[in-house]
């Protein structure tokens, strides 16, 4: 009986540990808490899209990607925008070789992500090498 309880406890603990490392479960706040991001996996790569905005409207209309360098995309809504793309798994708690698009300035940067804790994800955007960049701390929303 003790062995069975120990086995059950171990399996439950392991499942919590594994689910805590799965960033695709639930949503995440950006550092400013002005947006929530949903991560999802497609063809072995991680993507992130905006699923909630603190201020979703601009002059009574949905906020758009007004700073996008592609004129055809300037009218695209920010809600649903996929701005984190093509991250590949790098170990247990890290993803690399992705890109992050900043809708505040219309620029795209190389990016890596690292799960620091079950509730904090560091997303680093950079140009050239990772040392020359900025890290945003995303926090688990739910």
Q: What is the pLDDT of residues 124-141, one digit of tens each?
A: 999 988 888 999 999 999
Give the model's pLDDT for residue 21. Answer: 73
- β-partners of residue 61 are 58
What is residue 130's predicted lDDT score, i.e. its pLDDT? Answer: 84
Q: What b-and-e string marks burial along 83-112, b requiring 16 or more CB atoms within 10 Å of the CB?
A: bbbebeeeeebebbebebbebeeeeebbbb
* Domain locations along the chain: 23-140
The pLDDT value given to residue 1: 55
Mean pLDDT of the region 26-39: 98
Q: Does domain 23-140 have CATH number 2.40.128.520?
A: yes
Report pLDDT for 140.
Answer: 98
DSSP 99: E
Task: Please give the pLDDT value at position 13.
Answer: 41
- Non-local CB neighbours of 113 within 8 Å, separated by 6+ positions: 23, 46, 84, 87, 94, 95, 96, 98, 121, 122, 123, 124
């Amino acid at each position: 009986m003790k062995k069975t309880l120990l086995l059950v406890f171990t399996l439950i603990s392991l499942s919590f540990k594994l689910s805590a490392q799965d960033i695709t479960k639930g949503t995440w706040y950006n550092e400013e808490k002005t947006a929530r991001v949903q991560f999802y996996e497609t063809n072995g790569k991680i993507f992130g899209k905006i699923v909630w905005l603190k201020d979703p409207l601009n002059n009574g209309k949905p906020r758009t990607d007004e700073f996008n360098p592609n004129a055809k995309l300037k009218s695209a809504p920010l809600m649903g925008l996929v701005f984190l793309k093509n991250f590949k798994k790098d170990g247990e708690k890290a993803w690399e070789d992705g890109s992050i698009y900043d809708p505040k300035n219309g620029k795209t940067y190389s990016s890596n992500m690292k799960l620091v804790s079950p509730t904090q994800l560091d997303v680093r955007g950079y140009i050239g090498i990772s040392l020359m960049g900025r890290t945003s701390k995303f926090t688990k929303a739910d």
